[in-house]
């Protein structure tokens, strides 16, 4: 229903900071408020699978998050309640789930009504417990999303945040409230300060900017961490880190730090370093599933939350391509199809999921790759529901002048917003992507049933003018099979945004079950068939069996369910285990020990045991 507007657009050269500028540098793209982008089709179904799974039910029985108060009493435990809040605000609203919406409202009310007269909020109020700033960051993200969805909450939340900023600023000047985690996660607070600055400064611009500077200069110097001379190019298990911080989750947080810094330094070098750091991270620690690896320290699970934000500040499409790959591969791979059990660590070649003796993970416990309620740590139990809702919420942005709307993540969505000049637009994306044949090689576009013309994207974006009324355009984006070189001469297989793996047939055993909620259980998976294969990549063939009804199965991310697969000629090889439950590195150029056979590869996200990096043989 566009009145007149560019639609997907081309944006010119990346904004270059001008030193000496004051205030905050503008973002290239602006996000839309929570609730204005909604999932449709299979993506809506996936959100409902999550809502009907652990995410939507843990508040009923999981002790860390079942109360509407600060039960834990220190920053780590309160951050679990806040992380849950940050995830369930968008989950509740996008799933339109009354119980979850009510629960998040109760938590917001509780926190705001317990702010003390100094401005401090948190479990430390009325106690002598030490106060660390980082504990409040997830709460602030959740509260901001609630305001975006419901502007009636603006005064209450914004007033409370400004009071908190005042006390935080004093603490920072006094050297208080800062410990290791505040030092690494300062960028989260800076993003909240920038939200206040952009939308509700209330005359406090100078204090907001000073607080950003204080946080940066008492925090980890990310511009050095991501500098090639300090950056680790191997697993970090036995390396001395000159700067101290290679923690996987903190690195993900740190990816946002430099674009956030750039906005107040106006120093182009901060954006350039963010881009170089991103490349180093994925060059040396990347996995075909889209994530980088970290068993606690760089060597992972947390999706790279910085990706959407990096794109919005810098406009470089490499960030969002990576986020899409993570969402469609690594994220679903680490949960059971019904989203009731999740892992702490995910392996590319995962031949079992069980208590591991010996344990291959240097820094994490032997229970790390069990699928369960809280293998190793509770943090992912409460934070994993952030993935889908935040992916959805960042799927569209507007140009900085708000004249155009841009779809950055491909998938089934519907969005309505009002562009500059009171121009209302609604976009409906009718697709089963990535479970349909779509990716960018020889793509075509046809507008209002006209003849297809080749796409010609600039900086990753295809510009389309949409006149008043309804414009229908049909994108046809064919794909090619690609292979990626991996260590030891092995390869990984991709097509479009999906990574493909051999789904190892498995048996499953319940290890424990929650007393109150039997669906919350810890599962061991064991391989029930051979997985020791080499493949001949010249024989890869793509197979598309579109669902007859046009509707994908629910859930879709489980064995045998996605409509796309590949076949490949394989042969059995000798491939030892390195312990009882994990595969040794793929053997280089192994000899076949038996007859050639054909195996099927399926989307990685649907596999729970798998081989994702194969030795190669030539038939
Ligand atoms: C949410 O559900 C309510 C009924 O419970 C309905 O009135 C409302 O239209 C729904 N909102 C959306 C956005 O689907
Ligand atoms: C602190 O404790 C006092 C005494 O119990 C109480 O009256 C007050 O409301 C508490 N303050 C906050 C902010 O919770
Ligand atoms: C910009 O950042 C670089 C790298 O951190 C630094 O060397 C340089 O001094 C900064 N420039 C200014 C004007 O602050
Ligand atoms: C793209 O076009 C080239 C040149 O016409 C052709 O060789 C190639 O097979 C096409 N690829 C796909 C995926 O259609």
pLDDT in tens, 507-541: 999 999 999 999 999 999 999 999 999 999 999 99
CA distances from 568 to 462, 585, 593 (A): 34, 21, 17
Per-residue pLDDT of 96-123, as tens digits, reads 999 999 999 999 999 999 999 999 999 8
Distance 126 CA to ligand 2 centre (A): 6
Task: List strand residue ranges (DSSP E) for 400-464, in order.
Answer: 405-407, 413-419, 423-428, 444-447, 453-454
Domain boundary among the residues 206, 234, 256 is at 206
On the question of a cis peptide bond just before residue 555, with omega within 30 degrees of 0, the verdict is yes
Within its chain, how far is the Cα of 375 from the centroid? 20
Whether 364 is in the pocket of ligand 3, judged by its Cβ within 6 Å, is: no
Ligand 3: does its nearest atom lie under 6 Å from the Cβ of 269? yes
The confidence band for 285, taking pLDDT boundaries of 50, 70 and 90, is confident
Domain boundary among 172, 206, 240: 206
Measured from the alpha carbon of residue 17, the closest ligand is 3
Ligand nearest to the CA of 482: 4
pLDDT above 80 (res 231):
no
Tokens 């399926």 belong to which residue? Answer: 602
Model confidence pLDDT, tens digit, residues 416-474: 999 999 999 999 998 899 998 665 566 778 777 788 888 888 887 888 888 888 888 88
Residue 161 has pLDDT above 90, yes or no: yes
pLDDT at 378: 79
Beta carbon of 420 within 6 Å of any ligand 4 atom:
no
| Domain assignment of residue 493, given as a range | 482-611
Q: Is the pTM of this model over 0.85?
A: yes
Report which secondary-structure segment, H or E, holds 280. helix 268-285
Which SS3 state, helix, strand or coil, does residue 426 take?
strand
pLDDT score at 491: 96
Q: How many CA atoms lie within 13 A of 486 on its CB side?
A: 25
The count of residues in the chain is 619
Q: What sign has the CA pseudo-torsion 51, 54, 55, 56?
A: positive
In a domain, residue 370? The reply is no
* Separation between Cα atoms, residue 368 and residue 371, nearest integer Å: 8
More confident residue, 74 or 354: 354
Beta bridge partners of 423: 419
Q: Whose CA is nearest to atom 2 of ligand 2?
A: 126
Half-sphere exposure of 203 (CA within 13 A, CB side): 1
Span 259-269, average pLDDT: 92
On the question of a cis peptide bond just before residue 434, with omega within 30 degrees of 0, the verdict is: yes
pLDDT digits (tens, 9 = 90+) for 39-66: 999 999 999 999 999 999 988 988 887 7
Q: Whose CA is nearest to atom 14 of ligand 2?
A: 114
pLDDT at 239: 46
**Domain for residue 51, yes or no?**
no
pLDDT at 292: 62
Cα three-residue angle 367-373-375, rounded to 5 degrees: 20
Residue 82 lies in a domain: yes
299 pLDDT exceeds 80?
A: no
Q: What's the confidence (pLDDT) of residue 4?
A: 26
Between the alpha carbon of residue 59 and those of residues 49, 147, 337, 376, the distances in Å are 16, 22, 21, 19
Q: Which atom of ligand 3 is nearest to the CA of 19?
A: 13
Q: How many CA atoms lie within 13 A of 55 on its CB side?
A: 31
Cβ of 421 closer than 6 Å to ligand 4, yes or no, is no
**Does some domain include residue 401?**
no
* Lowest-pLDDT range of 160-169, 255-264, 291-300, 368-377: 291-300
Contact 510, 341 (CB under 8 A): no
Higher pLDDT, residue 156 or 83: 156
Considering every ligand atom, which ligand is closest to the CA of 276?
A: 3
Domain boundary among 206, 240, 274: 206
Q: How many domains does the chain have?
A: 2
Report the mean per-residue pLDDT for the chain. 85
pLDDT value at position 578? 83
**In this structure, is residue 512 part of a structural domain?**
yes
């Amino acid at each position: 229903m566009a009145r007149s507007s560019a639609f997907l657009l081309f944006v010119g050269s990346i904004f270059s900071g001008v030193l000496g500028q004051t205030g905050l540098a503008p973002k290239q793209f602006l996000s839309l408020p929570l609730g204005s982008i909604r999932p449709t089709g299979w993506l809506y179904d996936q959100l409902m699978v999550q809502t009907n799974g652990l995410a939507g039910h843990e508040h009923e029985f999981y002790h860390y998050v079942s109360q509407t108060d600060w039960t834990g009493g220190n920053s780590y435990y309160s951050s679990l309640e806040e992380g849950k809040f940050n995830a369930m605000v968008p989950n509740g609203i996008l799933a339109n789930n009354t119980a979850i919406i009510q629960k998040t409202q109760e938590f917001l009310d509780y926190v705001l009504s317990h702010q003390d007269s100094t401005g401090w909020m948190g479990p430390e109020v009325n106690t002598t417990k030490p106060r660390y700033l980082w504990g409040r960051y997830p709460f602030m993200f959740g509260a901001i999303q609630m305001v975006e969805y419901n502007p009636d909450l603006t005064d209450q939340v914004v007033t409370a945040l400004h009071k908190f900023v005042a006390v935080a600023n004093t603490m920072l000047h006094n050297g208080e409230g800062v410990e290791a985690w505040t030092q690494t996660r300062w960028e989260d607070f800076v993003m909240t300060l920038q939200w206040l600055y952009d939308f509700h400064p209330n005359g406090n611009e100078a204090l907001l900017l000073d607080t950003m500077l204080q946080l940066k200069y008492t925090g980890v110097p990310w511009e050095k961490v991501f500098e090639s001379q300090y950056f680790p190019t191997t697993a970090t298990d036995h390396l001395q880190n000159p700067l101290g911080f290679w923690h996987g989750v903190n690195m993900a947080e740190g990816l946002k730090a430099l674009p956030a810094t750039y906005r107040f330094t106006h120093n182009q070098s901060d954006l350039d370093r963010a881009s170089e750091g991103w490349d180093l991270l994925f060059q040396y620690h990347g996995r075909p599933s889209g994530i980088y690896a970290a068993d606690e320290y760089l060597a992972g699970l947390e999706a790279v939350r910085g990706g959407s934000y990096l794109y919005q500040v810098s406009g470089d499409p490499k960030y969002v391509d990576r986020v899409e790959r993570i969402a469609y591969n690594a994220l679903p791979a680490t949960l059971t199809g019904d989203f009731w059990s999740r892992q702490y660590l995910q392996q590319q070649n995962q031949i079992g999921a069980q208590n591991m003796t010996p344990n291959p993970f240097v820094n994490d416990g032997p229970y790390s790759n069990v699928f369960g309620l809280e293998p190793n740590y509770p943090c992912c139990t409460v934070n994993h529901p952030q993935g889908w809702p935040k992916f959805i919420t960042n799927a569209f942005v507007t140009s900085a002048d708000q004249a155009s709307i841009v779809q950055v993540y491909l998938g089934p969505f519907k969005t309505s917003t009002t562009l500059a000049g009171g121009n209302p637009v609604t976009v409906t994306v009718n697709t089963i992507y990535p479970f349909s044949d779509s990716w960018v090689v020889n793509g075509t576009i046809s507008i209002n049933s006209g003849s297809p013309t080749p796409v010609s994207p600039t900086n990753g974006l295809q510009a389309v003018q949409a006149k008043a009324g309804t414009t229908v355009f049909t994108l046809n984006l064919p794909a090619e099979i690609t292979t990626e070189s991996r260590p030891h001469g092995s390869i990984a297989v991709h097509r479009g945004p999906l990574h493909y793996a051999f789904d190892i047939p498995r048996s499953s055993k319940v290890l424990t079950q929650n007393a109150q909620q039997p669906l919350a259980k810890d599962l061991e998976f064991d391989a029930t068939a051979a997985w020791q294969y080499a493949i001949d990549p010249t024989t890869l063939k793509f197979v598309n069996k579109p669902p007859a009804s046009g509707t994908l199965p629910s859930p879709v991310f489980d064995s045998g369910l996605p409509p796309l697969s590949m076949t490949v000629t394989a042969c059995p090889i000798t491939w030892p285990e390195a312990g009882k439950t994990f595969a040794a590195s793929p053997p280089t150029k192994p000899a076949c020990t038996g007859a050639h056979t054909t195996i099927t590869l399926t989307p990685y996200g649907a596999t729970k045991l798998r081989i994702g990096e194969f030795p190669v043989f030539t038939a």
